[in-house]
Amino acid sequence: MNKKVILQDLGLKDYKETWDYQEALFKEIVDSKIKNRREQSNLETPNYFLYVEHPHVYTLGKSGDINNLLVNETQLKEKEASFYKINRGGDITYHGPGQIVGYPILDLDNFFTDIHKYLRFLEEMVILTLAEYGLKAERSEGETGVWLDVGTPFARKICAMGVRASRWVTMHGFALNVNTDLGYFDLMIPCGIKDKAVTSLNIELGKTKVDEEEVKQKLLQHFETLFSAELIKEKTEV
pLDDT at 238 over 60: no
pLDDT at 59 over 60: yes
pLDDT in tens, 139-154: 998 888 999 999 999 9
Catalytic residues, which ones? 191
Q: Is 120 annotated as contributing to ligand binding?
A: no
Confidence tier at 89 by pLDDT (50, 70, 90): confident
| In a domain? residue 219 | yes
pLDDT at 46 over 90: yes
Q: Is 49 annotated as contributing to ligand binding?
A: no
| In a domain? residue 238 | no
Q: How many structural domains is the chain composed of? A: 1
Lowest mean pLDDT among 11-15, 171-175, 185-189, 193-197: 193-197
C-alpha distances out from residue 167 to 24, 58, 115, Å: 15, 27, 11
One-letter identity of residue 114: D
Among 221, 233, 230, 168, CA closest to 3: 230
State percent of the chain over pLDDT 70. 96
CA distance 105 to 199: 27
| In a domain? residue 57 | yes
3-state secondary structure of 113: coil
| In a domain? residue 212 | yes
Q: Is 37 annotated as contributing to ligand binding?
A: no
The DSSP bridge partners found for residue 156 are 148, 197
pTM of this structure: 0.93
| In a domain? residue 88 | yes
Range of the domain at 127: 4-233
pLDDT at 92 over 90: no
Q: Is 81 annotated as contributing to ligand binding?
A: no
Q: Is 98 annotated as contributing to ligand binding?
A: no
**pLDDT of the residue at 150:** 94
Confidence tier at 99 by pLDDT (50, 70, 90): very high
pLDDT in tens, 199-215: 999 999 999 999 999 99
Q: Is 59 annotated as contributing to ligand binding?
A: no
Q: What is the 3-state secondary structure (H, E, C) of 41-92?
A: CCCCCCCEEEEEECCCEEEECCCCCHHHECCCHHHHHHCCCEEEECCCCCCE
Q: Which CATH number goes with the domain that contains 166?
A: 3.30.930.10
Q: Is 174 annotated as contributing to ligand binding?
A: yes
Confidence tier at 63 by pLDDT (50, 70, 90): confident
